[in-house]
């Protein structure tokens, strides 16, 4: 059995390394020495979790309980722990300071099991139980182990890399060559359980990617649409007949039905079933299949009758976000009625439909989903005429929708899970108003506010994702568009992600340094007018030291449905600037 100290020491090492290749090499080297179950457990732990994204892995311990557990483990006062915490800003560092040197005896399996026990402790006396479970294992841990056990428990591992690093490491460790990373990433888009994928690769090597297929209960990564600059480009990209579907300003949902069990998953793969009981009830009545996986969008929506006419009213995304809550669900169900609009089917009664062309999938969708109540199928038009598509776009804008998604009708129009595909293209209202685009940007820093904003942020430093390096590179400072409510909400979010120095997966130039550094966690949608060359930003920086910048940015909303690695990429920014 592999000792946990080896993983803790690797964590310590990885914190100091900034080279993408070196991080991947170190992780691959570590995985080679593990058995299948250790590989599975370690894959989760590298991402600061004890399970896949679609399972709730929150352990239920916050600072207050952690302080109590640390004090009990090392026989010091809680005030002493708090004093040291105020100085270091990290309870893991506090443990490292006050714990005693001892022989390493914990295994990866023991630590993983204990974290699971902490999560499962519930009901009356659960807080005391969680505190004891943490305190007990800290007493057995070395200072290095204790430091990372506490960070894992609190969800603050902060190694500065995401799952893509692990997928590359798997390729090197279990197939002997990085060239298989592409196939492994494709498998991960379908089997989104990184632990199960890691174990399969450890046991089956290059044969593992062929093992995985979509199945109910495990969400696949969503297929996304590319951007285009004009309707003329749409016509050039998709020859012949094409489908234009309404694009909704809501939350992507993947519905999985297996017999009587129905679950809904977000674009971030989170289980959001509990937030939308009305949608789940409606699906139960309207979906005519025993096993099915559907792709759609939940929208804040009401349908009215006026003078004998049916009127649809769509509300903005911000209103829908009232439904993303753990408590008072029934109250907000009444305050914010919703509907679900399905536009794709991915699985049906034991068969994956990912490799079926879009026209066939759409036909199956219409066969197995009955439109009634709050269950709808996305309205579309199918045509060869770009003029008819423009007319359809104008209709959607008049209804208050975001725009349209134009889809290929070709024989190869498959569902490309996890990809921003060249088979789907989006055209939004902002484009027709002369704005180039909206961008999903990651907040990496904030600047102190002045005047009315004193004591709050004045502007946010925002970045895009460099996919090749898995690094966040700055694109713009956003200081307009915030309401007072936005500012309070963002301040609350920022406070939980403040770090003392530039995160190692963030690139900021000296002249752009913020007053406060923020770990990449918060995604906001920003509207801008032009992308220019900039010596001050690092996005897509070339040999001359010039990056790209977004001019006249304006905050639109917080994107709770986007993870940092779902953000707009450098490649997309370059395409929008250069058209290629």
By annotation, the residues acting in catalysis are 247
Q: What is the DSSP string of 501-558?
A: S--TTEE--GGG--SEEE-S--EEEEEESEEEEESS--TT--TTS-EEEEES-EEEEE
Q: Which long-range contacts (CB under 8 A, 24 or more apart) does 447-452 make?
A: 447/477, 447/479, 447/514, 447/515, 447/516, 448/515, 448/516
Q: H-helix or E-strand containing 267?
A: none
What is the Cα gyration radius of the chain? 25
Residue whose pair of structure tokens reads 């990866």 in the numeric block: 108
Structure tokens at 383: 């045509």
| Listed residue (245, 191, 247) closest to 221, CA to CA | 191
Q: How far apart are CA 232 and CA 225, in angstroms?
A: 17
Q: H-helix or E-strand containing 38?
A: helix 36-46
Q: How far apart are CA 162 and CA 268, in angstroms?
A: 14
Q: How far apart are CA 342 and CA 130, in angstroms?
A: 42
Q: How far apart are CA 167 and CA 162, in angstroms?
A: 9
Listed in sequence order, the DSSP H helices in 191-305 are 194-204, 231-237, 277-286
Q: How far apart are CA 175 and CA 172, in angstroms?
A: 6
Cβ neighbour number for residue 500 with a 10 Å cutoff:
9
- Residue 306 DSSP one-character state: E
């Amino acid at each position: 059995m592999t000792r946990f100290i080896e993983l803790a020491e690797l964590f310590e090492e990885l914190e100091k390394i900034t080279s993408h290749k070196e991080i991947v090499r170190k992780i691959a080297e570590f995985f080679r020495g593990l058995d299948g179950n250790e590989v599975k457990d370690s894959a989760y732990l590298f991402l600061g979790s004890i399970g896949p994204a679609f399972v709730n892995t929150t352990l239920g311990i916050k600072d207050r309980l952690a302080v109590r557990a640390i004090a009990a483990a090392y026989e010091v006062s809680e005030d002493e722990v708090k004093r040291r915490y105020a100085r270091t800003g990290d309870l893991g560092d506090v443990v490292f300071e006050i714990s005693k040197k001892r022989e390493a005896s914990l295994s990866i399996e023991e630590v993983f099991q204990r974290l699971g026990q902490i999560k499962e402790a519930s009901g009356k006396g659960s807080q005391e139980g969680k505190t004891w479970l943490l305190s007990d294992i800290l007493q057995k841990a070395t200072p290095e182990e204790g430091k990372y056990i506490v960070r894992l428990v609190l969800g603050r591992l902060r190694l500065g890399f995401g799952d893509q690093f692990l997928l590359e490491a798997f390729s090197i460790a279990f197939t002997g060559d990085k060239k298989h990373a592409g196939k492994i990433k494709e498998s991960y888009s379908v089997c989104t359980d990184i632990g199960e994928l890691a174990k399969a690769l450890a046991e089956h090597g290059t044969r593992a990617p062929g093992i995985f297929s979509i199945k109910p209960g495990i969400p696949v990564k969503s297929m996304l649409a590319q951007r285009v600059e004009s309707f003329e480009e749409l016509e050039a990209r998709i020859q012949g007949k094409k489908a234009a579907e309404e694009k909704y300003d809501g939350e992507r949902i993947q519905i999985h039905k297996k017999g009587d069990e129905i679950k809904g998953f977000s674009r971030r793969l989170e289980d959001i079933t509990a937030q939308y009981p009305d949608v789940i009830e409606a699906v139960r009545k309207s979906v005519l299949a025993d096993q099915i996986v559907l792709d759609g969008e939940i929208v804040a929506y009401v349908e009215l009758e006026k003078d004998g006419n049916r009127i649809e009213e769509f509300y903005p995304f911000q209103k829908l976000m009232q439904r993303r809550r753990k408590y008072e669900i029934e109250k907000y169900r009444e305050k914010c009625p919703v509907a679900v609009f399905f536009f794709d089917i991915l699985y049906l009664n034991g068969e994956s439909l990912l490799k079926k062309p879009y026209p066939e999938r759409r036909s199956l969708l219409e066969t197995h989903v009955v439109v009634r109540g709050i269950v709808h199928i996305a309205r579309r038009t199918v045509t060869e005429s770009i003029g008819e598509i423009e007319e359809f776009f104008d209709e959607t804008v008049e209804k208050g929708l975001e725009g349209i998604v134009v889809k290929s009708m070709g024989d190869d129009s498959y569902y490309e899970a996890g990809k921003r595909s060249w088979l789907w293209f989006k055209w939004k209202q902002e484009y027709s108003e002369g704005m180039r685009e909206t961008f999903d940007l990651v907040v990496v820093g904030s600047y102190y506010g002045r005047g009315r904003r004193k004591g709050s942020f004045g502007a946010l430093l925002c970045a895009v994702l460099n996919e090749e390096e898995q690094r966040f590179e700055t694109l713009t400072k956003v200081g307009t568009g915030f309401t007072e409510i936005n500012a309070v909400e963002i301040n609350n979010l920022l406070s939980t992600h403040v770090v003392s120095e530039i995160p190692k997966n963030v690139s900021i130039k000296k002249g752009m340094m913020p007053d406060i550094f923020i770990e990449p966690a918060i995604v906001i949608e920003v509207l801008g007018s032009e992308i220019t060359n900039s010596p001050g930003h690092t996005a897509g920086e070339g040999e001359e030291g010039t990056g790209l910048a977004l001019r006249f940015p304006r905050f639109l909303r917080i994107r709770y449905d986007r993870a940092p690695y779902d953000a707009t990429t450098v490649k997309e920014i370059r395409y929008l600037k250069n058209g290629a």
